[in-house]
Amino acid sequence: MRGYLSRALEKNGYEVASVDRGTEALPLLEKEHFDLLLSDIVMPEMDGIELAQRCNEVSPGTKVMFITGFAAVTLKASREQPTAKVLSKPFHLRDLVLEVERIFEDQAQASL
């Protein structure tokens, strides 16, 4: 699934760094600037909520978007990471791209 998501975003002009777990993402967030962290909530070693919390510490300007297939996890994410967008599975790749575009449109509006 990660490959499909990456390709869909790349086809729409976004640069993507793709890793398979939060413990691999965190060092990248510490070294480079990212506009958006797109993370599944359920992952091995470090869940997406913990990753987003750590991201806020090392890169507070990075927006966060979760994807999940579990409604209960969505509720937990919205409580623990209230500024994050949550996209529930299943979704169409176009839905993902539209949500990412909305995040950046909202960010552009907020900076005006």
Instruction: Show me where the domains of the chain are located.
Output: 2-110
Residues 33-91: pLDDT tens digits? Answer: 999 999 998 888 998 889 999 999 999 999 999 988 765 555 555 555 556 788 888 89
Phi, psi dihedral angles at 109 (to 5 degrees)? -65, -40
Check: CB of residue 74 under 8 Å from CB of residue 68.
Answer: yes
Distance, in Å, from the CA atom of 84 to the CA atom of 78, rounded to the nearest integer, reads 7
Domain covering 2-110, topology: Rossmann fold (3.40.50)
Q: What is the pTM of this model?
A: 0.84
